[in-house]
């Protein structure tokens, strides 16, 4: 009989010396290391777990246990959600938001969506095709995670995880819960954006007196309210974004390679990043960050290479217009034959207000392409389900069974060349660009991702008229094809690992000796010296205006290489790279502050005059001691249309594809809209109660951590590179809920890899955990921490160590 787990842990408690302090070391958890699992977890400063085992299963076990120590409740709620059991545990009237996309679903709609999206048919390919060793990792993670739950429920870890410790939704999980989590992450930029539209799709038996809305009515409705398509217009590349550089030998002062990675992810919810280090001698030695619940490093480094990601502009799905049987809206015509729309009956449990459990049933629908959907915005069925037409989607990432294998093989890789080769061979990256480099390596970029194989030529001959043109006005590049013709199915490339997606030869890449970078615009200006062109529109746009953040990201490198940024010398060192990427420059301020002071401020009165006085002393940055930064932000928030894009209407010099980094520019301060925006911004500052000349450290702090921590950084719409995203200014200041998350700066020397960085919101979401806010305080102070990698570095930085066996 297995010994009581916590009794065994407590019995093994000893005190070990580490430098000048004593640290607890938890001994064998029972079984003497001769059973199924045996792993050592060493915690270093700021709570980073270093997981060392002799086999994959044990590595997963240690990872699952360590992760549960830090973030049990957040992951558990997500697993309940993708089981389709929110209504069962959180009630009929609740809801939740998928934070990166901004989509909110009530608990019922959520459950119905996930029950259809994670059926056995949907999960089986990923489960069956996952590499054998990472099936072991997945199973080990589940067992380690469950062990911690058993300990918590038996009374161990008192005071920890108060949000769920006594909840009925804290239960032991199964391996399929992990495969559901993998699938959820694969489709977060595709199917889940249309969750409500799929969960509520129903056939309309009659058009009624109004008839089918016209093309103009549909276009006007979308422009007035994009609905969930807002994710692909206003949010993608802005909130759910990232910055990254790979520097080759020509960009650094000593000829070394460097990688900077900085995804912009939520500071709340399950789409956060967790830092860990996994070692299996002779198999892998990899460190970096993973999204919650993924026991593989997704952005990381080792002695051979480092990499990072940014959200790509490519679409991961396509829409099809179905021509229906006019006598039966549940049938459609395909190549002259009639096919049935599959009906999927689903019943869920619902917790009622009186504590009883009821059942609710609904039928969801699928074509052979994928789920049916109905998109209604501003009261207009833009994508309706009439007696004549209906709409369905095909999601390439719902078919992607290679995601875990991609990162598993990268974790095992032993050279930059192997990393690059695996990128194209496996082609399992779901929705992010990649940069990478390594010792003496080139700077590599690739948008080698899962993209529907819809070349422009296919769109030309297969577009559904007129709805394709309507959709293009809002989301250019997203195809709406004729679903009645077999020749309008997605193409397949001979070098693609699966049908229906582009192979590597039709996806953009670039390798250079100086640098590559991406900031969520398309691949086109990965390096302006060598623009990338000639790819399908579904992947991205070319020769179009870039965001202010992209332009600043490029200018920072250009100015560092020619020495015009005021820093020492030319080219990068690791400290100079760190100074550049956290400098908190605001490009709109650099471009337009003086114009505002010269052309608007002389005639300003009231609140606007106070705003001008503050801006006269602003340093065009969003640093902690920057005064007036909030004044500029509120002005630009209004001017840019409340998060609304790249701008352009208020610039005197328009965008030019011949000078894309420096255009548009020259604020047209004579426009009434510019002056009105300035006055509105000044009024917003006055209404907030904060002084116009208050430093940012008094205004900006985390939403969900400890609110006495000041946070530097600005907003994407004002041209910040260092991102701290929040709602507009109010009496609570700026409460950061998004932005810089995991950050690493990596290089190599004769001793191997040298990496420093942060996880901005800290390692734990449990307020009772000592690592709930410690890394956030270090980030606030810009105290870069070296990530311990070698055994000697780990031992020197150890704060706690324990061995787990079962």
Residues recognised as catalytic: 242
Q: Is 315 exposed, middle or buried (0-12, 13-18, 19+ CB in 10 A)?
A: buried
Q: How many helices (H) and strands (E) does the chain have?
A: 22, 36
Residue 115 phi, psi (nearest 5) = -65, -35
Strand partners, 41: 51, 802
Structure tokens at 714: 């600005």
CA distances (Å), origin 435, targets 30, 259, 509, 581, 747: 43, 8, 10, 16, 14
What CA–CA distance (Å, rounded) separates 381 from 569? Answer: 59
Residue 529 phi, psi (nearest 5) = -70, -15
Strand partners, 747: 258, 754
User: How many CA atoms lie less than 13 Å away from 241 in the CB half-sphere?
Assistant: 29
Q: What is the dihedral of CA 76, 80, 83, 88, to 10 degrees?
A: 160
Query: Are 580 and 553 a contacting pair, CB within 8 Å?
Result: no
Residue linked to tokens 């005064």: 627
Structure tokens at 604: 């300003």
Sign, CA dihedral 489-492-496-502, equals: negative
Q: DSSP letters along 520-564, please?
A: SS-GGGSSTTS------TTT---SSPPPHHHHHHHHHHHHHHHTT
CB neighbours (10 Å) of residue 755?
23
692: Cα separation from own chain's centroid: 34
Structure tokens at 297: 């490093």
- Asked if the peptide bond before residue 664 counts as cis, ω within 30 degrees of 0, the response is yes
What CA–CA distance (Å, rounded) separates 375 from 389? Answer: 13
What CA–CA distance (Å, rounded) separates 491 from 497? Answer: 13
Query: Are 676 and 543 a contacting pair, CB within 8 Å?
Result: no
Query: Are 270 and 480 a contacting pair, CB within 8 Å?
Result: no
What CA–CA distance (Å, rounded) separates 491 from 777? Answer: 51
The closest of 162, 9, 143 to 72, measured between CA atoms, is 162
Radius of gyration of the CA atoms of the chain, in A? 27
Length of the chain: 806
Sign, CA dihedral 322-464-447-425, equals: positive
């Amino acid at each position: 009989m297995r010994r009581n787990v916590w009794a065994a842990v407590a019995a093994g408690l000893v005190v070990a010396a580490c430098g000048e302090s004593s640290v607890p070391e938890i001994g064998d958890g029972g079984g003497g290391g001769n059973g199924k699992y045996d792993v050592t977890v060493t915690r270093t400063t700021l709570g980073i777990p270093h997981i060392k085992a002799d086999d994959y299963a044990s590595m997963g076990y240690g990872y699952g246990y360590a992760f549960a120590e830090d973030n049990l409740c957040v992951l558990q709620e997500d697993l309940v959600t993708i089981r389709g059991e929110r209504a069962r545990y959180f009630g009929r009237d609740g809801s939740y938001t998928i934070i990166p996309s901004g989509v909110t679903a009530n608990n019922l709609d959520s459950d119905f969506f996930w029950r259809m999206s994670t059926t056995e048919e949907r999960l089986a390919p990923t489960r069956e095709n996952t590499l054998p060793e990472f099936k072991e990792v997945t199973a080990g993670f589940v067992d380690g995670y469950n062990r911690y739950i058993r300990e918590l429920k038996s009374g161990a870890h008192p005071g920890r995880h108060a949000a769920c410790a006594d909840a009925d939704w804290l239960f032991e999980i199964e391996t399929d819960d992990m495969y559901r989590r993998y699938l959820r992450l694969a489709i977060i930029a595709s199917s889940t954006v249309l969750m409500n539209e799929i969960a509520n799709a129903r056939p309309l038996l009659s058009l009624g007196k109004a008839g089918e809305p016209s093309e103009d009515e549909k276009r006007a409705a979308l422009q007035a309210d994009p609905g969930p398509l807002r994710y692909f217009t206003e949010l993608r590349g802005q909130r759910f974004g990232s910055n990254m550089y790979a520097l080759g030998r020509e960009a650094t002062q000593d000829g070394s390679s460097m990688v900077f990675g900085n995804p912009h992810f939520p500071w709340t919810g399950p789409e956060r990043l967790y830092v860990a280090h996994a070692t299996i001698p002779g198999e892998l030695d990899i460190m970096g960050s993973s999204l919650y619940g993924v026991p593989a490093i997704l952005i990381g480094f080792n002695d051979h290479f480092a990499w990072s990601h940014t959200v790509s502009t490519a679409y991961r799905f396509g829409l099809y217009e179905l021509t229906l049987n006019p006598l039966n809206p549940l049938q459609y015509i395909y190549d002259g034959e009639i096919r049935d729309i599959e009906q999927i009956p689903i019943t869920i449990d619902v917790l009622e207000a009186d504590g009883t459990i009821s059942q609710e049933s609904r039928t969801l629908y699928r074509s052979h392409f994928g789920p049916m959907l109905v998109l209604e915005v501003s009261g207009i069925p833009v994508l309706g389900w009439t007696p004549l037409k209906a709409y369905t989607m095909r999601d390439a990432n719902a078919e992607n069974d290679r995601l875990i294998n991609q990162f598993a093989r990268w974790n095992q890789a032993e050279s930059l060349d192997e990393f690059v080769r695996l990128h194209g061979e496996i082609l399992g990256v779901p929705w992010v660009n990649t940069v990478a480099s390594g010792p003496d390596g080139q700077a590599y970029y690739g948008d080698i991702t899962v993209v529907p194989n819809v070349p422009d030529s296919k769109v030309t001959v297969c577009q559904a008229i007129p709805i394709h043109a309507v959709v293009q006005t809002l989301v250019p590049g997203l195809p709406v094809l004729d679903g009645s013709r077999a020749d309008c199915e997605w193409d397949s490339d001979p070098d693609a690992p699966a049908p229906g997606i582009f192979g590597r030869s039709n996806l953009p890449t670039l390798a250079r000796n100086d640098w590559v970078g991406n900031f969520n615009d398309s691949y086109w200006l990965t390096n302006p010296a060598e623009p990338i062109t000639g790819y399908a529109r579904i992947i991205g746009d070319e020769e179009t205006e870039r965001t202010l953040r992209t332009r600043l990201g490029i200018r920072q490198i250009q100015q560092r290489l020619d020495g015009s940024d005021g820093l020492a010398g030319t080219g990068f060192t690791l400290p100079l790279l760190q100074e550049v990427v956290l400098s908190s420059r605001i490009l709109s301020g650099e471009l337009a502050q003086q114009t505002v002071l010269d052309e608007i401020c002389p005639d300003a009165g009231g609140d606007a005059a106070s705003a001008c006085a503050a801006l006269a002393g602003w340093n065009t940055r969003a640093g902690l001691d920057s005064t007036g930064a909030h004044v500029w932000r509120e002005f630009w928030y209004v001017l840019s249309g409340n998060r609304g894009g790249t701008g352009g209407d208020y610039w005197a010099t328009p965008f030019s594809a011949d000078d894309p980094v420096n255009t548009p520019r020259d604020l047209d301060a004579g426009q009434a809209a510019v002056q009105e925006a300035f006055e509105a911004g000044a009024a917003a500052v006055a209404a907030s109660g904060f002084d116009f000349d208050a430093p940012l450290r008094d205004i900006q702090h985390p939403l969900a951590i400890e609110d006495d921590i000041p946070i530097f950084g600005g907003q994407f719409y004002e041209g910040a590179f260092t991102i701290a995203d929040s709602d507009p200014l109010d009496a609570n200041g700026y409460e950061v809920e998004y932005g810089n998350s995991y950050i690493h700066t990596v290089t190599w020397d004769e001793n191997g890899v040298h990496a420093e960085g942060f996880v901005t919101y800290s390692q734990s979401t449990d307020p009772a955990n000592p690592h709930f806010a410690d890394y956030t305080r270090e980030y606030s102070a810009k105290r870069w921490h070296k990530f311990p990698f070698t055994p000697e570095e780990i031992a020197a930085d150890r704060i706690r160590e324990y061995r787990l066996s079962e």
